[in-house]
């Protein structure tokens, strides 16, 4: 299962608006994607509830994992999203 470690660029992390945008993008992907903080259990990247309870803050690393067809492309899209400061 491919994975990527990404630093969240948004200053306030994955709070309500960026979290909603992230989960929408995750649901659009062909592969099933999870996200988690290093050393913690990953959560479904397409679930707004899971993303909000993850508590991912700006500057923190998260690990994205994808499984299924299009896994690398799914990771590319979500990594690119996390590398943009959506609060700027």
**Cα(25)–Cα(81) distance, rounded to whole angstroms?**
9
> What CATH code is carried by the domain that includes residue 10?
3.30.1340.10
Whether the Cβ atoms of residue 11 and residue 80 lie closer than 8 Å to each other = no
Does this model's pTM top 0.85? My answer is yes
Options 6, 8, 10, 15, the catalytic residue:
15
Is residue 82 a contact partner of residue 22, using CB atoms and an 8 Å limit?
yes
Percent of the chain with pLDDT over 90: 91
CA 35 to chain CA centroid, Å, is 5
Please state, in angstroms and rounded to a whole number, the distance separating the CA atoms of residues 68 and 86. 28
Question: Is residue 43 in some structural domain?
Answer: yes
Tens digits of per-residue pLDDT, 23-54?
999 999 999 999 999 999 999 999 999 999 99
pLDDT of residue 88: 67
Query: Does residue 77 belong to any structural domain of this protein?
Result: yes
Residue 12 located in a structural domain: yes
| pLDDT confidence tier of residue 87, bands split at 50, 70 and 90 | confident
Question: Domain containing 57: what range?
Answer: 3-82
What is the pLDDT, as a whole number, of residue 41?
95
> Residue 87 falls within a domain, yes or no?
no
Q: How many domains does the chain have?
A: 1
Is 15 annotated in the active site? yes
7: pLDDT strictly greater than 90: yes
């Amino acid at each position: 299962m491919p994975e990527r470690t990404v630093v969240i660029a948004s200053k306030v992390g994955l709070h309500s608006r960026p979290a909603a945008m992230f989960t929408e993008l995750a649901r659009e992907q062909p592969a099933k994607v999870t996200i988690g903080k290093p050393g913690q259990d990953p959560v479904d990247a397409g679930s707004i509830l899971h993303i909000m309870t993850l508590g991912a803050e700006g500057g923190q690393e998260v690990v994205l994992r994808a499984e299924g067809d299009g896994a690398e492309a799914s990771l590319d899209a979500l990594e690119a999203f996390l590398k943009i400061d959506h609060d700027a």
